[in-house]
Amino acid sequence: MNYTDWKQVRLVDLALINAKSISGKYPYEEIEYIDTSSVTGNEFSPLQRLKLIDAPSRAKRIVQHGDTILSTVRPIQRHFGFIRNPKPNTIASTGFAVITPKNINPEFLFYYLSQESITNYLNGIAETFTTTFPAFRPEVLSDLELVIPSDEKVQRRIADILSALDDKIELNRQTNATLEAIAQAIFKEWFINFNFPGATGEMIESELGMIPKGWKVARLGEILDVKGGTTPSTKVEEYWNGEYSFATPKDLSSLQSPFLLKTERRITACAFR
């Protein structure tokens, strides 16, 4: 495929933006509501089921299969997603720009608009507006210029490849979640229920309650060295990219389980000296 087979075109020529909103003739009394916090990086949390009369005033955007939704508030937080087979009463917040494709492969458009470069571009625009939160007007998207394959079959092939990679990533995520659940179950069984391999069932009194015979209660400092320190200098290359995990508050703030299994940075033994 030659790059000359691609074309430059404005988004307004490829898609509709916020084409449908709830009106007085809306037929449903209950809605499935997508708030901006409901989706991050195309991962949707369970949607809220609300009576229309009780729904927030921002619950207005009608979505359909193939739409891309992009949060216009704080784009850097990546609250965007691809709408796939929604229920007919699914409604999105007006905090989203709802982009409905007309002359482009829907999934290709989603992957294009979810690129980091597009996110950074929209966030840069949002930062220039004097509003309470960094936000851009949906009209900004109309003039957004895209460079895309002229042939929609090529668009579909690209989208299929990216979708397959996403499916693989999701499968790996589910596998990791299953392994983590197993690890937590084993931890509870061994160290809370004391039903570990070789357990005799004999229990003795301790200041913390009943514990297995042969176990003891001790202060942490009695069984290991507890040391404090500072972050190794980032200017010394030999301290970094080593074999030891280096935990920071950032690693802990994003922790999704009781176990810290991976850290953003690693250090060498030289950093301990």
User: Tens digits of per-residue pLDDT, 131-141?
Assistant: 678 899 988 99
Gyration radius of the chain's alpha carbons: 26
> Nearest to residue 81, comparing CAs of 47, 38, 51, 20?
38
**pLDDT per position as a tens digit, 147-205:** 999 999 999 999 999 999 999 988 998 998 899 899 999 999 998 889 988 888 889 99
The domain limits of the chain are: 3-148, 199-224, 227-273
pLDDT confidence of residue 16: 96
pLDDT, tens digit, 9 for 90 and up, residues 66-117: 999 999 999 999 999 999 999 999 999 999 999 999 999 999 999 999 999 9
Residues 232-252: tens digit of each pLDDT: 888 888 888 888 888 888 777
pLDDT of the residue at 119 = 94
Tokens of 76: 């850097």
Report which secondary-structure segment, H or E, holds 156.
Answer: helix 152-191
CA-to-CA dists, residue 140 to 16, 144, 228, 266, angstroms: 13, 7, 50, 41
Ordered DSSP codes for 234-262: TT-GGGEEEEEEE--HHHHHT--SS----
Question: pLDDT: is 179 or 254 the higher one?
Answer: 179
| pLDDT at residue 131, as a whole number | 67
Q: CATH for 3-148, among 3.40.50.300, 3.90.220.20, 3.40.50.720, 3.30.465.10?
A: 3.90.220.20
Residue 49 has pLDDT above 80, yes or no: yes
